[in-house]
């Protein structure tokens, strides 16, 4: 619509310049008024252009100069209105630009603030992560340090123990070696002493044997002499002892009252203990005949025959101190 109004005004100007007639000018004026009314009634995109109402002029004949003056005046009015419109639009555009600029600045500021906050949050998070990492690294380092210290301590303790063990083993080895040397020395000395003692023993044994041989030779000579004498004495004593035994047996048999009921062949062995002087000190049945009356008769006969002959010789007395005698019942 604005373009249409501008086109209409341009045509009016052209008609004025062509020096239209008064009737044409009257028609032109009406067209101008109509255009003004039309422009005034049209809504503007940004702001309505205020157009002053021109009072209805009664058409009358005017000359060209007046028409030009009027047209010039209208042109100036139109230009002024256009300039104001441009200024208004420029002001609106400027305000919009300022608003956009302010909005953009605000958006950029908010974006910047957001970025700043995000950066701060990121830095804070990074700082926190770094701090946690440093803490973890510190803890790890402390742990590693503790482990190293423990390992070093264990190593030191192990080395100390190994050193002590080595020293102990060395000491034990030295002591063992010392003992071994002492033992070898002792064994050697003992062997030497033993060899010396053995040599002396052999020497002494040889000397002793010589002496023993001499003693034995002399003893043999004496023993042979004594044996001969002893044999002679023993033979004499055995003869005397046999005679005494025979005498004692005969003395007992003289008073022995044999039981008639005793079967023939019964044997009773008794031990007779003699007292000094030939008295009987006791009678013991060593082997029974199995017949009590027979055994009792033997004991009674021994007691009744007492006392027995008693020799003066001490050797004979010893032999007669206990006598073992066997009695057999015969028909």
User: Judging by beta carbons within 10 Å of its beta carbon (0-12, 13-18, 19+), is residue 25 exposed, middle or buried?
Assistant: buried
Note the pTM of the prediction, 2 decimals.
0.32
Res 173: pLDDT: 85
Q: pLDDT tens digit string along 51-71?
A: 455 555 555 555 788 888 988
pLDDT confidence of residue 44: 47
Q: For each of the domains in the chain, give its residue range(s) and CATH number, in order of start.
A: 2-109 (no CATH), 256-328 (3.30.1150.10)
Three-class DSSP category at 281: strand
**pLDDT at 284 exceeding the cut of 80:** yes
More confident residue, 129 or 269: 269
Report the percent of the chain where pLDDT is more than 90: 10
For the cut 60, the answer to whether the pLDDT of residue 41 exceeds it is: no
Alpha-helical (H) ranges within 18-63 are: 22-41
Instruction: Give the model's pLDDT for residue 228.
Output: 72
3-class SS at 240? helix
Query: If pLDDT is split at 50, 70 and 90, which confidence band does 20 have?
Result: very low
**153, pLDDT greater than 60:** yes
- Examine the pLDDT at 81 and tell me if it is beyond 60: yes
pLDDT at 270 over 80: yes
13 has a pLDDT exceeding 80: no
- Average pLDDT of span 26-40: 66
- Tallying the residues shown for the chain, one arrives at 331
Query: What pLDDT does 7 receive?
Result: 58
Mean pLDDT of the chain: 79
Q: What is the pLDDT of residues 155-198, one digit of tens each?
A: 888 888 888 888 888 888 888 888 888 888 888 888 888 888 88
Q: Residue 45: what pLDDT?
A: 42
Specify which residues 285 forms β-bridges with: 270
- Above 50 in pLDDT, residue 47? no
Residue 52's alpha-carbon distances to 36, 58, 132, in angstroms, are: 9, 18, 79
């Amino acid at each position: 619509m604005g373009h249409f109004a501008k086109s209409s005004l341009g045509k009016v100007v052209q008609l004025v310049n062509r020096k239209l007639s008064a009737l044409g000018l009257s028609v032109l004026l009406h067209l101008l008024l109509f255009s003004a009314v039309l422009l005034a009634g049209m809504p503007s995109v940004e702001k309505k252009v205020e157009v002053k109402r021109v009072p209805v002029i009664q058409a009358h004949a005017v000359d060209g100069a007046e028409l030009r003056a009027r047209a010039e005046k209208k042109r100036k009015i139109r230009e002024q209105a256009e300039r104001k419109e441009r200024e208004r639009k420029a002001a609106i555009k400027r305000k919009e630009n300022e608003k956009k600029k302010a909005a953009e600045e605000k958006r950029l500021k908010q974006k910047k603030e957001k970025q700043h906050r995000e950066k701060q949050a990121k830095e804070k998070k990074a700082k926190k992560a770094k701090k946690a990492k440093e803490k973890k690294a510190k803890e790890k380092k402390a742990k590693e340090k503790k482990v190293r210290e423990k390992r070093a301590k264990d190593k030191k303790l192990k080395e100390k123990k190994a050193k002590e063990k080595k020293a102990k083993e060395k000491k034990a080895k030295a002591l063992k070696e010392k003992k071994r040397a002492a033992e070898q020395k002792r064994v050697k000395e003992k062997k030497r002493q033993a060899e010396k003692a053995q040599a002396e023993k052999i020497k002494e044994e040889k000397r002793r044997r010589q002496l023993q041989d001499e003693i034995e030779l002399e003893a043999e000579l004496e023993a042979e002499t004594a044996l001969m004498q002893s044999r002679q004495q023993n033979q004499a004593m055995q003869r005397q002892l046999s005679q005494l035994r025979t005498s004692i047996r005969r003395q007992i048999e003289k008073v022995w009252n044999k039981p008639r009921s005793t079967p023939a062949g019964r044997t009773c062995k008794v031990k007779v203990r003699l007292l000094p002087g030939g008295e009987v000190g006791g009678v013991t049945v060593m082997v029974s005949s199995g017949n009590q009356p027979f055994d009792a008769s033997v004991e009674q006969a021994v007691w009744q025959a007492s006392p027995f002959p008693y020799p003066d010789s001490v050797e004979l007395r010893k032999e007669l101190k206990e006598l073992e005698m066997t009695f057999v019942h015969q028909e």
